[in-house]
Structure 1
């Protein structure tokens, strides 16, 4: 917990400096940074914590660089989820209005039409996401490290952005249902969209900062990729079958959106799906329709299949950890993280 609080303290400094710089521009630009500051702080801080802890477990001594890199991972996360909300047409995040919702509502209160206010909100979100991605890269570019390590960290960041964008685009494409996607397509999308920046990049950057050799960096990337897939597969199950009181997320959201998860991809092959296919992706889907879809998914065996995939990936991760010859503390930490991702209920 101490490392998380320290990262938050560092982010407070970084964001406060950005807000001070914003004051020489427009009032709206300053408001954008204020909204970003609220979004960037708090939460589980999974990515920053993973980077700092892995760096320490690997015997790293670049404490300040690790702290700044951890902060960059949090800013990267914020930038990507802001853009993701725009793509998904969401106006709420963590039970509160996101930047699109906030700026749209304020514009309407000031007299803007609904359409104009929506354009303002979406535009503000897109620009806010850009600012976060730029601020994250700026932190990494200023790390007080020797040039080879700093450039290696920036290369990881560049590749992570490319992976995340490819994964996000693939997610949207799969949801159009214009061609026949298989489970491999879905798993590849998950690996790019979620795993690359959430687990793979923090572990790889931690190893680079600690001075680990290239082979260990690659082994940690492989482990991080698999952990991220487990995390997202569990998230997809919770998105349809979870307890809304625990997850804080509607079990109708993914079904209304028509999100092509491994659950849905598997259910499509079963005769039961044809009876409910017209409900999937219906923005007006009600509780009864959601129940019918969940029953069809269960009947198809899709939920059981995804659970088996989670278990299979966990087994593979255990093998990768054993083969990687990691420090005992890090091996235990990654095993615990894998278990937490596979068993979480929120």
Structure 2
């Protein structure tokens, strides 16, 4: 996949216009967040744009930058929602500003609140930056309207998915609801948005735009199902986050939806959602998830959605289908069942 353009000029301008030391620190933290990760989404957009015959590299690069900023906004806000202070193995915006407040003598509660405040504001600024980059990209009015409509739809579904993801931690959910949340929270902005934006920018026919949306939906659901497994079973050096956080938070994922109907659920339900959960208790919870068949069931379901994404790729033009297939091979396991890379 092609490499996205740099956001250096955007952040250079933001830092130049900063109001004081703390404002500069906030923008620097956003830049640090935007610079990390694998930048999968902008690369996916650029690859699909080229595959569909797009020729305006400046326009595509601007859209890729907007997608990168949107992802940055969502990541920052997601960390605030989850109460996580670490992202990719180092302090995130929340963690950096909590540490500053702690060093300035604030109580733990006030330090955490300052970090959360910085996270909310940083995410808002990154989101506004994504809109600004799109608005000043030079796209025609009709194309800009389509991109804004797509972005509006993605933001609405992503917000609904994030809210539902928190809600079901205390209400529980059916497997069908878990799939909907994955489609809203992950598929919409991580896969459907870059694929469909690329098609719009390249002037592709509507049936291709729709087909890419379907492929992105299935790809995103498969990815989220496997990501939920990693959140419980994978070590910190693989995920960049605390392997106890999902269990302590009580995230109600596909694992829990399957396990709830098993004989292991009574014991398992006493483990999840406890902030004081120990490493030993977490190991027991993992054992119960395996014994209940939940891990194998979620893995199998992810494979079904992987196959659905591959089937959708077959209906696309050859070059576009190749991009989707390459994305699937990159982030979803094949028959080996081993994940090689994420999209954080």
TM-score by length of 1: 0.93
Distance in 1 (CA, whole Å) between partners of 2:290 and 2:308 is 26
Residues 97-149 of structure 1: per-residue CA shift (max 9 Å, x gap): 11112112112222223322222211111010000000001111112122111
Shift of 1:27: 2.3
Task: Say whether residues 1:12 and 2:2 are aligned partners.
Answer: no
Change (3 A) 1:99 1:244: closer
Instruction: Give the equivalent residue in structure 2 for 1:44.
Output: 38
Q: Note the residue ranges of structure 1 that are not aligned, 5 or more in a row.
A: none
Change (3 A) 1:111 1:70: same
Change (3 A) 1:140 1:254: same
Are 1:230 and 1:338, in contact at CA under 8 Å, matched by a contact in 2? no
Are 2:247 and 2:282, in contact at CA under 8 Å, matched by a contact in 1? yes
Task: Say whether residues 1:132 and 2:122 are aligned partners.
Answer: no
Distance in 2 (CA, whole Å) between partners of 1:92 and 1:258 is 18
Q: How many residues align?
A: 336
SS in 1 for 2:17: helix
Distance in 1 (CA, whole Å) between partners of 2:201 and 2:40 is 18
In terms of fraction of residues, the more helix-rich structure is 1
Shift of 1:244: 3.7
Are 1:272 and 1:296, in contact at CA under 8 Å, matched by a contact in 2? yes
Task: Say whether residues 1:107 and 2:101 are aligned partners.
Answer: yes
Shift of 1:62: 2.1
Residues 246-265 of structure 1: per-residue CA shift (max 9 Å, x gap): 33333322111101110111
Shift of 1:59: 0.2
Task: Say whether residues 1:262 and 2:254 are aligned partners.
Answer: yes
Give the counterpart of 1:21 among 17, 22, 40.
Answer: 17
Distance in 1 (CA, whole Å) between partners of 2:116 and 2:190 is 25
Give the counterpart of 1:291 among 272, 283, 288.
Answer: 283
Are 1:45 and 1:74, in contact at CA under 8 Å, matched by a contact in 2? yes
Shift of 1:345: 4.3
Instruction: Give the equivalent residue in structure 2 for 1:329.
Output: 319
Distance in 2 (CA, whole Å) between partners of 1:89 and 1:18 is 27
Aligned Cα RMSD in Å? 1.5
Moved more, 29-38 or 114-123: 114-123
Distance in 1 (CA, whole Å) between partners of 2:160 and 2:301 is 23
Instruction: Give the equivalent residue in structure 2 for 1:302.
Output: 294
Task: Say whether residues 1:147 and 2:137 are aligned partners.
Answer: no
SS in 2 for 1:321: helix
Q: Note the residue ranges of structure 2 that are not aligned, 5 or more in a row.
A: 334-338
Residues 35-64 of structure 1: per-residue CA shift (max 9 Å, x gap): 111111132000000000100000011211
Are 2:88 and 2:239, in contact at CA under 8 Å, matched by a contact in 1? no
SS in 1 for 2:116: helix
* Paired residues for 1:1-346 under 5 Å: 3-4=2-3, 6-7=4-5, 9=6, 11-22=7-18, 25-177=19-171, 181-324=173-316, 326=317, 328-343=318-333, 344-346=339-341
Higher relative contact order (CA 8 A, sep 6+): 2
Residues 137-190 of structure 1: per-residue CA shift (max 9 Å, x gap): 11111121221111111111111111110100010111112xx52111001001
Shift of 1:90: 1.1
Residues 56-82 of structure 1: per-residue CA shift (max 9 Å, x gap): 000011211110110111110110111
Residues 201-234 of structure 1: per-residue CA shift (max 9 Å, x gap): 0001000000012221111111111111111111
Change (3 A) 1:114 1:181: closer
TM-score by length of 2: 0.94
SS in 2 for 1:278: coil
